[in-house]
Structures are given as structure tokens and as C-alpha cells.
Structure 1
């Protein structure tokens, strides 16, 4: 078997289901590339993009904005269980831009109030919004 089955699932359901020749994702420890016949592994994912080179195209790559979660690789199946995830074609860029602006305002307010918890939440929200905006540019 020279391909992988890639599934991305969120609490809202299945986001992605295709065959691939390679998957590249960012874990909390750095970037990882998965090829067919990869050893079994479970890794936590960072808020970042996942790149999937599909088997039905020599050059096409699907981009998925993943906002945390885990990735399990076993028997040529990659299962990504994410807090939330969106394919590049499904991202509402204007909504992501508004979320970015809102997060930036929240960061400023949290800094003024010296509230570390609010600052941490706002920083995560900003990172998610920027990730979605970056992935949307790959369409």
C-alpha cells in the first residue's frame, strides 16, 4: 500500500476524508511528515496548518487549519481529532479577520488589566484566527 487514509474529525463531525501520499503537520514539538508505512505514533498537534498531498493529483495539496488536538498514525491510517478544523475552501476570511481584530483588542485589554488568564485566552484566539487566515490563502 503506497497511500495513507487521512481523516480529520472535530466535535462537529468529519471534516476531511481522503487518501494521501504524504501528510505534514505541526506537533507541539515541531513539524512531522508522515509517509505510508509509518510506525504507529500518537502526537499532540499545535494550532497550525496540516498539509495533505492527495493520491489523485501529482501537485495538489489540501490545506486544513487545525486548532489543536491529536494525531494518531496506525496501519496507514492517519486520524486527526481536533478541537476545530476547516479546509481552506471552507474558511470565511472576513469572519477570521474579525476574530483576529477582536483577539487583538482582548490582548490589549488583558495587558492593561494585568490579567494573565485573559491574555492567554486572547493569545490563543489570535493564533487560531491567524492560522485560519493563512490557510485560506492557499486556495
Structure 2
């Protein structure tokens, strides 16, 4: 590994670029578990779960709430294409807490109605809201 190797990390959503920075390491949660990528890593494509992406650079760590998508890494460039994503500083915690409460209510309603499709959608909404709250650090 070269002394000054870095990774370029980009996170994009259908609404545009959410994050771009150089990094010493990026950590994502895939459907198979956590994946840490350092410079000169072999090329990889993986589906990512609803979780935080951690980008380590200059003795700092940026956290981004990512709600599904995939990562492609090749040539020291990591591109994350996400359904939606928010940086730690841009998360509206009150809105996320309200979304969590609504999702919990919808889960209870879906269970009572024995509606598996609505239950699955509400559970995903709950995971997304909890992810946003966790990444915000609140």
C-alpha cells in the first residue's frame, strides 16, 4: 500500500450528491455484514443495508445515514448509490423522532389487521428513522 493513498468517497441519491470527500477508510454495512475498505482494496460491489456509513479521514469520522442502495469500489474510488442519505449535521432529529413514532403506530395497526405488506413497509420506515436518530447522535 502506498504511503499517501486515499479513497475518494461519493454518496449519491436520486436527488443528487449528498457527500464527497477523500478518506483513509470507509465502513459500510452490507447485507452480509460490515465491510471496511482501505486504499488499494480489491474491486467490490455490494448491496448496503439501512445503516450508517462511516468515512474516516484526517483523524475525524463523518457519519452518513444511508437507507439502502449499493457500493461500488474500484481504483480507490468508492461510490455509494443510495435510496436516500443524510449527513450527520443535516438530520432533523425531531422529524426523525416523529417518523419513528408514526412507524411504530403503523406496525401496531398492521399487526392488528394481519397485513403483512403494511407491516413490512412500516418496519422499514422504523429502521430508517432509528438509523437517522442514531447517526445524529441523539
Q: Please state which band the TM-score falls in when normalised by the shorter chain.
A: over 0.9
Misfit runs of 4+, over 2 Å:
none
- 1:49 pairs with 2:13: no
5+ residue gaps, structure 1: none
Match of 1:116 in 2: 116
- List runs of 5+ in structure 2 lacking aligned partners: none
User: TM-score normalized by structure 1?
Assistant: 0.95
Compute the displacement of 1:128 (Å): 0.1
Q: Which residue of 1 aligns with 2:71?
A: 71
How much is the aligned-residue C-alpha RMSD, in angstroms? Answer: 0.9
SS in structure 2 at match of 1:129: helix
Partner of 1:20: 23
| TM-score normalized by the length of structure 2 | 0.96
Select which of 26, 29, 35 maps to 1:32.
Answer: 35
Report deviation, 1:21.
Answer: 0.1
Alpha-carbon distance in 1 for matches of 2:12, 2:66: 10
2-structure distance, mates of 1:8, 1:86 = 10
